[in-house]
């Protein structure tokens, strides 16, 4: 057992030794047997007497420590958002202020810089009728489209998703999609595996892990929540010709379709998940961005099927 695991174990012992009444209301979350379930860091977290899991995987690092500490400090006080405070304004923050700035704020600058650079390039050589090429809507100097189940707005200075600044990977993907907008229409079939796309080799392993394998523990919930997934991601059931026990397509971008095919576990084979791309997806995003598109679509599916 390493130091992180020992800290988590000690925190859980303290929590379960003096368990506050109705902890599920204090977190808040849900209570099933001796386990407590809550959303943290965009994932489903389960706190038990012996371990913490995140999306059904043991959380043995810093995230596990943070969740155990959050549970230990649970109380009846409600979140009071305003006025917001800078980290340096908090008591006793001085020893950690430098690391906070480096690891929380400055780490985002490359993403923001890439988004800003993409927007400068886009607005410098704006194609005519971009709203028709995306396709989307045009209001003043803003372009609006649906992406990853949210309403995205592209402006000369920023990208927003559901009216919140998109300063991370999704913001980069939306800005790249706009940069690559063209008159070609989406051509779904024949769908292609990611590894079949040119120059995909450097990203194929991460794609399999972050887009396909990440969904395997959730297949049952996915099957139970297809309507929710379809409504959010403009999806539809598969035709049946693609095989699998469950299949469907979703649209993370207006001109890019992803086909998901799932096989349930049986006596001979484990469960599996496959994600395929519409035939001409490379016409609308570069190869590395397509890998990220698959990953963030799968993360969105998990978000949609996970209770708040």
pLDDT value at position 308?
61
Could you identify the residue written with the tokens 């099933």?
32
* Residue ranges, the chain, pLDDT below 70: 1-2, 307-308
Chain position carrying tokens 């980290």: 87
The pLDDT, as a whole number, for residue 110 is: 74
- Three-state DSSP state, 143: strand
pTM (2 decimals)? Answer: 0.72
pLDDT of residue 56: 87
Neighbours of 302 (CB within 10 A): 18
Rounded-to-10 torsion of CA 235, 236, 239, 241: 20
Q: What is the pLDDT of residue 60?
A: 84
Distance between CA 286 and CA 188 in Å, rounded?
17
Cα dihedral: 195, 201, 202, 206 (round 10): 30
Helices assigned H by DSSP within 148-254: 169-179, 201-207, 219-224, 226-233
Q: What is the pLDDT of residue 97?
A: 81
Residue 53, both tokens: 């899991």
């Amino acid at each position: 057992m390493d130091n992180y695991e020992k800290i988590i174990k000690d925190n859980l012992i303290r929590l379960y030794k003096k368990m506050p009444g109705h902890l599920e209301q204090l977190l808040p979350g849900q209570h099933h047997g001796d386990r407590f379930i809550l959303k943290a860091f965009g994932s489903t977290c389960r706190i038990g007497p012996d371990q913490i899991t995140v999306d059904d995987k043991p959380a043995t690092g810093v995230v596990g420590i943070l969740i155990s500490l959050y549970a230990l400090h649970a109380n009846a006080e409600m979140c009071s958002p305003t006025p917001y405070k800078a980290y340096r304004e908090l008591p006793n923050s001085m020893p950690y202020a430098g690391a906070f700035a480096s690891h929380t704020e400055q780490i985002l600058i490359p993403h923001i810089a890439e988004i800003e650079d993409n927007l400068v390039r886009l607005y410098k050589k704006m194609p005519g009728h971009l709203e028709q090429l995306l396709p989307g809507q045009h209001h003043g100097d803003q372009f609006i489209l649906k992406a990853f189940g949210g309403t995205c707005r592209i402006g000369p200075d920023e990208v927003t998703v559901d009216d919140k600044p998109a300063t991370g990977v999704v913001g980069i993907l939306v800005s790249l999609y706009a940069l690559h907008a063209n008159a070609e229409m989406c051509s779904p079939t024949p769908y292609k595996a990611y590894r079949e796309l040119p120059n995909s080799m450097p990203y194929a392993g991460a794609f399999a892990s972050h887009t396909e394998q990440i969904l395997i523990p959730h297949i049952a919930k996915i099957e139970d929540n297809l309507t929710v997934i379809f409504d959010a991601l403009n999806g539809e059931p598969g035709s049946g010709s693609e095989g699998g026990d469950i299949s469907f397509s979703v649209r993370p971008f207006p001109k890019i379709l992803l086909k998901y095919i799932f096989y349930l576990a049986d006596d001979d084979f484990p469960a599996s998940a496959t994600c395929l791309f519409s035939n001409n997806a490379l016409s609308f995003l570069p190869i590395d961005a397509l890998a990220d598109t698959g990953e963030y679509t799968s993360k969105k599916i998990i978000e949609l099927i996970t209770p708040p």
